[in-house]
Structure 1
Amino acid sequence: MAQFNAGYDRLFGGDGLTVGVGFPLTDASESRPDVDREMTLASHAESLGFDALWARDVPLYWPRFGDAGQTFDTWSWLSYAAAHTDDVALGTASVVLPLRHPLHVAKSAASVDRLADGRLVLGVATGDRDPEYPAFGVDPDERGVLFRESVDLLRTAWRDEFPTAEGRWGSLDGDLDVVPKPAGGTIPLLPTGNARQSVEWIADHGDGWLFYHLPTDTLASYLDDWRAAAGEKPYAMVVRTHLTDDPTADPEPVHQGYRAGSEWFVEYFRDLASVGVDHVVVSTPGEDPDRELTRLAEDVLSRV
């Protein structure tokens, strides 16, 4: 990534592990969250030192999947979050490229990035909710190809004035331009999961890799493969963090993470940093999200 991006620099510009938190901060994953409450919590997370706020992209709600993200459209939501924060990075985790026209993504992402003074980091994915593909008229078997074409066009549309390009999405012959351009000239892209690509392709075309929670032994293997392919490009991951009231409690596996005491989580995050993880996206379930964010920041992250 040749140009400067304030969000990317916040996450990956230093030597230590950085930590972001995912919307919805109230953990209201199956219904519309209270917007004012979410923005108050976003400001609170920023004041506690969290480095990023991540928004999901869930084009259509599928009750069987049991998760609607923050329910609001990603671009609208992050624009609103940008107006309620100052310096924290804003990320997508992750935009489902095969279900969105890449020219719309290019314009929407650049608009949010401009409104956020260059703080947008773009996680991009191929999606995992089967009924969405026929709803958008997309052949799920073409997800990998569509993803690659979208990444290529995003780079071109942000970099070039009046670009020429062609793909399954359509064609540009140099008479039209995508405006605005991103604040720093481009927006960093973090392919998410395998995105139906090889590790080598992700290393060559991404500005980093965003992956799901993995057991420690498996994570070490993935990191070895990533470093061999990508060198020092950053590795980010997701983990669900459920702090118990007992700080000495041993870990219990939960979906995408653990329920454990603060002492165990301190060592866990130290281990992640030592094996080469650069950024972690956490979630903090609980009836009192103010308290959970504060406890995670003060009892765990301040000691990592």
Structure 2
Amino acid sequence: MTSFAGADIHRPPIASLPYLKSIQEHPGYSSVFKSDRLTFGLVAPLEPYAGLPWPTLDSHAEAVRLVDKTDFAAIWLRDVPFYDPGFGDTGQVVDPMVYAGWLAASTRRIAIGTAGIVSPLRDPLIVAKQATSIDRLSNGRFILGLATGDRPSEFAAFGSDIGNRVERYRDALGVIRAATEQSFPQHLSRFYGALDGGLDMLPKPVAPSLPIIAIGRAGQDFGWLGNNTDGWLWHLSDPAKLASVIANWRSGSEGRFRPYGYGTMFDLLADPNASLEFKQSTMRGGRNALIDHWKRQRDEGVNHVALHMKPLQRPFADAIAEMADHVLPEFAT
């Protein structure tokens, strides 16, 4: 009979990356979020589909491999379980955790993040198991973004109470932290099951903690978010107010790095000298104006920008090539 005496129960043999000492060493997190640096990501699907409720996904594999060869830092996946004509968008269509697993096998460098998993609609232990599995299989390239969700029709379909989603968000995050960070955890949940110390969840993440960021405010105040998450990814707000928003987000951090990023609909115009405009939640302009704009935002404290190419008016490959050749090098270290 095989003996397991002395075996390290915290390290299943499924990935080559050793356990890391801190989240700052986590490959995905550290490549996306760095103090005083601005990085760029892309929101899936990686294709324009303006005016349509869902993308074709016809060339998504080629697009993913193309992006993986550039200096884009991350691919972000949305959690949209249903098509609701009232909202008119399905995200990348496929389930984000399933897609993240596929991305882990289809890429070699780029970080993979969720923006974000609607935690009140999912069992937090299942989310924890999925997230740590992807983190291990990708050699530490996974970032778990959690959101509360805002589509009443989806909550009704799941039989979930939208009225207490803010409280369940906090509760679910506590369950995920306990299951992924503790050995044989003991944790009492208000809305979910109890962990009594008799079970251990494997695998553990590659770092002491799984990178978890808030997508949107999730109904929480900055103090709670700053103490319980590893960063904040929001939608693009009024650029004129951005500096004060970031200052409020980082107040009381006592020297701890609190990354800030935002997501935006994006259209890179072919004319490199075209002016920058913000219209109908879309950032649109030529590369020179965008470079100037993003350098100002970097100086204001923005760490990451996630670009959603849905309104793009030119071929995806052309826009990515221009970004890779002319924009990303301006922000390289």
Interval containing the TM-score (normalised by the shorter chain): over 0.9
RMSD of aligned alpha carbons: 1.8
Within a 5 Å distance, the mapping from 1:22-101 to structure 2 comes to 22-28=43-49, 30-31=53-54, 33-34=56-57, 37-101=59-123
What corresponds to 1:173 in structure 2? 196
Q: CA deviation at 1:256?
A: 3.1
Distance of 1:223 and 1:135 partners within structure 2: 36
What corresponds to 1:210 in structure 2? 233
Write the letter of the residue equivalent to 1:10: S
Within a 5 Å distance, the mapping from 1:118-129 to structure 2 comes to 118-129=140-151
Q: CA deviation at 1:126?
A: 0.3
Can you give the 5+ residue segments of structure 1 that lack an aligned partner in the other structure? none
Q: CA deviation at 1:78?
A: 0.9
Write the letter of the residue equivalent to 1:16: R
Can you give the 5+ residue segments of structure 2 that lack an aligned partner in the other structure? 1-20
TM-score, normalising length: structure 2: 0.86
What corresponds to 2:323 in structure 1? 296
Task: Return closer, same or farther for 1:177/1:183 CA change in 2, 3 Å cut-off.
Answer: same
CA contact (8 A) 1:33 1:70 kept: no
Quick check: which has more Rg, 1 or 2? 2
Q: CA deviation at 1:141?
A: 1.4
Distance of 1:5 and 1:137 partners within structure 2: 36
2:249 to 226, 237, 249: 226
The percentage of aligned residue pairs carrying the same residue is 35
My pick for the range that moved more, 93-102 or 234-243, is 234-243
My pick for the range that moved more, 255-264 or 142-151, is 255-264
Look up the SS of the partner of 1:218 in the other structure: helix
CA contact (8 A) 1:240 1:254 kept: no
Q: CA deviation at 1:13?
A: 4.1
My pick for the range that moved more, 200-209 or 227-236, is 227-236
What corresponds to 2:38 in structure 1? 17
CA contact (8 A) 1:212 1:256 kept: no
Task: Return closer, same or farther for 1:13/1:265 CA change in 2, 3 Å cut-off.
Answer: closer
CA contact (8 A) 1:213 1:257 kept: no
What corresponds to 2:212 in structure 1? 189
The one-character-per-residue Cα deviations of 1:105-143 (angstroms, maximum 9, x if unpaired) are 000111111111111011111011111111112211111
CA contact (8 A) 2:175 2:187 kept: yes
Q: CA deviation at 1:15?
A: 4.1
Q: Which has the higher contact order (CA 8 A, sep 6+)?
A: 2
Number of aligned residue pairs? 303
My pick for the range that moved more, 10-19 or 26-35, is 26-35
Q: CA deviation at 1:101?
A: 0.7
Distance of 2:203 and 2:159 partners within structure 1: 29
Within a 5 Å distance, the mapping from 1:100-139 to structure 2 comes to 100-139=122-161
What corresponds to 1:254 in structure 2? 279
1:276 to 301, 306, 309: 301
Q: CA deviation at 1:254?
A: 3.1
Distance of 2:116 and 2:150 partners within structure 1: 11
CA contact (8 A) 1:61 1:68 kept: yes
Within a 5 Å distance, the mapping from 1:131-170 to structure 2 comes to 131-167=153-189, 168-170=191-193
My pick for the range that moved more, 60-69 or 294-303, is 294-303
Look up the SS of the partner of 2:306 in the other structure: strand
CA contact (8 A) 2:34 2:303 kept: no
Look up the SS of the partner of 1:180 in the other structure: coil
TM-score, normalising length: structure 1: 0.94
Write the letter of the residue equivalent to 2:322: R
